[in-house]
Structure 1
Amino acid sequence: MLKSAAFYASVPVRDIARARKFYEETLELGPGQEVGPGVSLTCGKGTTCLMYPSATAGEQRGSCAFWQVDDIEAVVGWLRTRDVQFEEYDTPEMKTVNGVFSAAGSRTAWFRDSEGNLMTVIQGLAH
């Protein structure tokens, strides 16, 4: 039943105004629309992202949200022009090259939003 349903992200934020500025201006998502204490942002392919206030924003270890892209180099390059910094990993299990990790037919890059949440850009997964 859920297989054909749209799936949306929600992102915890400590400072709604700061996060809204990052998502609208840096990532060029939106425009944002206030929804209760949070902000809903329009994203691609009819999806949305809800930012909501949370005292624990940025504390989870895993990625908060994913963007499926066709050209990760173009997206990473564009984000870098907007002063987004990418996570670099160099472990026996995972090594990024210029911010991008390649494995099993996919390529992935991670960055942190204004609230410290880990965000993911991925190319190559079936969709």
Structure 2
Amino acid sequence: MGSKTVNLVTRTLAGHQNYSIDAKSEPLTLVSEKDGIRTICLNNPKKRNALSLEMLNQLWQDLSKDNKSLRVVILSATGPVFSAGHDLTELRKEDGRHHHEEVFRRCTHVMTLLQEMSVPVIAQVKG
């Protein structure tokens, strides 16, 4: 990750609670939390923010983080597309029923969690 990218991420999250950033690649989500507002930004514009298993697992972690003062969650995305849906390239590459079941099970868990959250969830979609 180049210094230009690190500076961008630092500015984006300045003053907010930062989550770990993998030095090998861009983080799949950018998360900030301030004054009871948690913002989760999908951050894989090269793949059109596709819901790969890794992205779904990261979303699960970001949404599940407990905070008694949380008042709202805002979902947004980098790039021109909020999300293209499932990562079909990943699904085509992975042979075997087990991986597909794991992807759809995790997706179901994330969508159920979104529906059952005790605070409002707002999707900040461009266009």
TM (norm. structure 2) is 0.28
Q: TM-score, normalised by structure 1?
A: 0.28
Q: Which has the higher strand share?
A: 1
